Copies of this chain bind each other. A is one copy, B any other.
Amino acid sequence: MNSNKRIDELVTPIKDDLSSGAAELALQGIAAFRTLMSENEKASPEQLTALLIAMAQALVKAHPAMAPLFHLGNDVLQATKQSKDTRAIIETADNALDLFETRLCDSAAKIADHVYGLIPGGELVFAYSFSSTVVSSLLNARSRGKYFRAVCTEARPSMEGRKLATMLAGAGMEVINTFDSAMGLILPQCRVAFMGCDCVGRPGIVNKVGSWLLALACREQGIPLYALAGTEKFVTDERFFEFEDHQRPGAEVWKDAPNGIAVINKQYEPIPFNWLAGVVTEHGILQEDNIEQYISKMEVHESLRIQGVFA
């Protein structure tokens, strides 16, 4: 099989999954890398390297706003740069994948510990869109004996808010759900709000469309809103604005819209730091001033620089 076609086959389910968060999709990306390597154990080192680069680029293109997919590929490519033969490439890449997986899980566990301290018992807690980090944080707090009810909205058009509601309710939590534009009616009853995010950079954070309105409404009503994000979500300035070009088909919003109606289906939007109470990471609750130190250390593999991926 043509190797580009095979990569396409492995990445398409990740690209078309609109209801999973960035951390969840990075776990699927790890599996895709592993499958690709197991199918190419007899390739030459040059061939295998080219495949890993193509896979890393395809994952970034699938969800340009999702930083973990970028870091996953970048880590694999940086780790294998010095490997000379096929076996060494596979070994170092496998190591990088293991490390990334461990980092994702460790981040989620540490973030959940920080979130525990932010949830007031007996109150309503708002959560937006879908994020596996938000789910694990809320369930962790509940299992440690904190009683609260969760409030969430649909998150049109992909309705991943229903996935969030279903998972929380399935774990025995009382959940209140409504449509997105009813946020203004329900937020005044909530004491704190959480959302995942797709990337964090010096200009702010990027998350699912609707987060800007949520942040504005929280600011207006004095409700602290936290973005939950391991540092695998942190990105350099040039990557931060990648989300702007990302648009899905209008038919996902309105199938068979009449002629003369242009249907816009953008996925992400930026939210400034000063509208957030903080970014909850594995290193604690960070503010705008703390972001720089994590971003300045980042090294980007040459094939993942913006001109490399979007040439």
Contact = CB atoms under 8 A, between A and B. Distances in A.
Interface residues of chain A: helix, strand, loop or mixed (majority): mixed
Contact of A216 (B166, B177, B180, B217): B217
Interface residues of A, number: 45
B177 A262 contact: yes
A146 interface: no
A156 B169 contact: no
Contacts of A181: 153, 155-156, 180-181, 209-210, 213
Given A180-B180, A184-B216, A212-B184, A166 B261 contact: yes
B266 A182 contact: yes
A143 to B, nearest CB: 16
A169 B258 CA distance: 8
Interface string A203-220: 000000110110011001
Interface of A: 153-157, 162, 165-166, 169-170, 172-186, 209-210, 212-213, 216-217, 220, 253-254, 257-266, 269
Given A170-B258, A182-B209, 20 more contacts: A154-B254, A155-B181, A156-B156, A156-B180, A157-B179, A162-B254, A162-B257, A166-B261, A169-B259, A174-B262, A176-B261, A176-B262, A177-B257, A178-B264, A178-B265, A179-B180, A179-B209, A181-B210, A185-B266, A185-B269
